[in-house]
């Protein structure tokens, strides 16, 4: 899968290699997964190790990446980032906080959602979009796009917003946009330009978005 066009050149994107899934982290980071099942520990280590490498490429301070109130990664001052993982693929993307104001990334297996889950994710607009473009893109696209959206905006707005708070729009040729629903109770910064992308191959779907200060 080609990741090169997902983010601007100023960002640093790292795919976790096999070693990163097993390499222990700093003591403070290991404490966050103390007692977790093996799968969770492997994914957490892969994500944090990939994030540390991405930050190193940006010459960021070498500090532990801890966890915020909603379990989001806490990045070094002056830097932003996002981590995504599934059972066998993990990525991290980071940037200096400047022209890029927000980053969000999500990766999903290319399998259908569990039966019935879509009604908690898809708005009526999303459902019509999926119906009109049946088989044009993976079934998990709406879910994954909203996951990456949340990761991108939450550090800026500091408020939770659920799957029913936004509609996907203009989903085509590897790009997507969104708009808030009438139920949405958060304000998205109007001065930031949203960029949404998706890519998929025979096994995985990846969604990515960023906010630019144009």
Radius of gyration of the chain (CA): 17
| Nearest-angstrom CA–CA distance, 202 and 180 | 31
Say if CB 99 and CB 10 are below 8 A apart: yes
What pLDDT shows up at residue 133? Answer: 80
Q: Give the predicted TM-score (pTM) of the model.
A: 0.94
Confidence at residue 183, expressed as pLDDT on a 0 to 100 scale: 85
Using the predicted structure, report yes or no on whether residue 4 has a pLDDT greater than 80: no
Domains in the chain (CATH in brackets) are 12-212 (3.90.470.20)
pLDDT single digits (tens) 27-72 = 999 999 999 999 999 999 999 999 999 999 999 999 999 999 888 9
Lookup: tokens for 38 = 């093996």
Please count the CA atoms within 13 angstroms of the CA of 7 that sit on its side-chain side: 29
Higher pLDDT, 80 or 172: 80
């Amino acid at each position: 899968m080609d990741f090169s066009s997902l983010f601007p050149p100023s960002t640093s994107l790292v795919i976790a290699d096999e070693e990163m899934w097993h390499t222990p982290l700093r003591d403070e980071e290991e404490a966050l997964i103390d007692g977790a099942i093996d799968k969770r520990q492997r994914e957490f280590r892969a994500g944090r190790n990939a994030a540390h490498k991405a930050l190193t490429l940006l010459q960021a301070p070498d500090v532990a990446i801890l966890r915020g109130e909603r379990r989001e990664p806490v990045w070094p001052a002056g830097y932003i980032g996002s981590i995504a993982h599934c059972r066998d693929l993990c990525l991290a993307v980071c940037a200096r906080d400047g022209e890029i104001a927000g980053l969000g990334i999500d990766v999903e297996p290319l399998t259908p959602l569990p039966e019935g889950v879509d009604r908690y994710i898809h708005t009526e607009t999303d459902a019509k979009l999926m119906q009109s473009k049946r088989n044009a893109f993976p079934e998990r696209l709406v879910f994954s796009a909203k996951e990456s959206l949340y990761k991108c905006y939450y550090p800026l707005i500091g408020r939770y917003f659920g799957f029913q708070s936004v509609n996907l729009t203009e989903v085509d040729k590897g790009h997507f946009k969104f708009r808030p629903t009438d139920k949405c109770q958060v304000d998205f910064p109007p001065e930031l330009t949203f960029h949404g992308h998706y890519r998929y191959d025979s096994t995985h779907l990846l969604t990515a978005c960023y906010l630019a200060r144009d």
